Each structure stands twice: as C-alpha cells, then as structure tokens.
Amino acid sequence: MADLFSLAGRRALITGSTQGIGFALARGLAEAGAEIALNGRDTAKLETAARQLESEGATVHRLPFDVTDHAAARAAVDGFEAGIGPIDILVNNAGMQHRTPLEDFPEAAFDQLMQTNIASVFHVGQAVARHMIGRGAGKIINIASVQSALARPGIAPYTMTKGAVANLTKGMATDWARHGLNCNAIAPGYFETPLNAALLSDPDFCAWLQRRTPAGRWGKVEELVGACVFLASGASSFVNGHVLYVDGGITASL
C-alpha cells in the first residue's frame, strides 16, 4: 500500500511554488519521495524556497520562467527535460486574484487574470504533455477552486478563470488519457494563504465563512497535500478528468 502512494524516482514541477499552496504542495510531494522543480518569477523568493526544502532533505531544482509566456514555458520545460530528466508530475498552481465589483473591473486586471490563471495552464501543460505523451505516462494536476462551482461578489473574472481551469482539465483528460496521462484538478475551498490575506484580516468575512463551511473553519495548506499525492501517484491510475474539492464541505451544503 505504501508503494501505491510513493513518488520515489519521480520528478515534479510545481508552478508558482515559492509560497502558499504551491510551496506546501512542493514540500508534500518531496516528502512522498519526488524530486522537486520549483517555479517562480522572483528569483530571490525562489532561492529562499529552494533552500528551505533542501534543508529538509529534498532534492530541488530551480526553474525560473514566466508561466504566461508560451515560448518561455516551452524553452524552460524542453531545457529541463534535456538537461535534468523527465518531468513525471506537473502541478499547475500559478494564479492570482483581483477583487473589484464587476461593473468597475479594470481591463488590465481582467487580462492579467486570464493570462495567469488560464493561459498558464495551457502553456505549461502543453509543454510538459508533449514529453509525457512520448513516454506514455504522466500526471497533470491543475489547481482549480471552490469558485469553479460557486461565485461570490467582486470576483466574477476570477470565478470565470477557475471554471475554465476545471473544464480545461476535462479537455486535457479527453485528449491525453489515451496516451497514458492522468489529468485532474484539485479545487481548494478557503485556505490560509497570502492570496487570501485581505479576507483573513476581515472579521466579518471570517465569521461568515465559519458559518457557511460545515467544517466551521479555514483550511490549512497542508490539508491539500494528501489529495495532491493521491493524484500524483499510482493510486489514481484510473482517475481522469476529475475535479477534487477540498473545501470543508462548502460545496456540499446550502
């Protein structure tokens, strides 16, 4: 049973992995035995994150590229495959948030959300999948959101992007499952992350969330690791196109 969930001998690329959910997932995959390729645009933050994981015994590679740049993503992935070795697991985690009422939402912020939250999943996913297809195996895990299924005021474009991530995941599975790839998504609920700093500091929102969520609390990023290891391992060999909600029950209740 332990072997079923082991990632020993695998390499995992996690985009946007210098902090928050991405860093927690990188740490969790490393603890399950995988070599880790950290990604981020801020090289100082990337180095700090890499050194932290290395101090814990992980084998870490630095892969600084802009996930919104198709050519840069392709070059980084191709270079890594040629110089280091296969990427067996991809976690498309890079994302951003912008909170503004829809009628006032800035065009520039809308475009940035599209590129960061949707286009990056296509850019990096395609670059990695081309190598996985040739090997007949691979695991792609996209980070969706509770907003893939639900909406709240002030974040309509973000909600749109996460709905698109969920459907792109299904499209990846439909195209690539026959080549031996498993393409799934994790949809977190409300977690204590830098992306949610404004909400964490709002007592009214925290009180609402505790009432709205059956578990009665915020999630902790470490609670996403089990789902990620499952989808990255042999334990999920016949799971494809699935969106796994890790949300304390918020999507299960009214």
Catalytic residue among 80, 105, 158, 218: 158
Q: Give, as one character, the DSSP assignment of residue 40.
A: -
Q: State the pTM of this model.
A: 0.97
- Asked whether the beta carbons of 68 and 113 are under 8 A apart, the reply is no
Buried b (16+ CB within 10 A) or exposed e, 156-185: bbbbbbbbbbbebbbebbeebeeeebbbbb
Name the residue with tokens 């870490």: 60
| pLDDT, tens digit only, all 254 positions of the chain | 779 999 999 999 999 999 999 999 999 999 999 999 999 999 999 999 999 999 999 999 999 999 999 999 999 999 999 999 999 999 999 999 999 999 999 999 999 999 999 999 999 999 999 999 999 999 999 999 999 999 999 999 999 999 999 999 999 999 999 999 999 999 999 999 988 888 999 999 999 999 999 999 999 999 999 999 999 999 999 999 999 999 999 999 98
Whether 158 sits among the annotated catalytic residues: the reply is yes
Name the CATH superfamily housing domain 2-247. Answer: NAD(P)-binding Rossmann-like Domain (3.40.50.720)
| For the chain, domain boundaries | 2-247
The secondary structure of 131-173 as a DSSP string is HHHHHT-EEEEEE--GGGT---TT-HHHHHHHHHHHHHHHHHH
Q: Report d(CA 35, CA 49) in Å as an integer.
A: 14
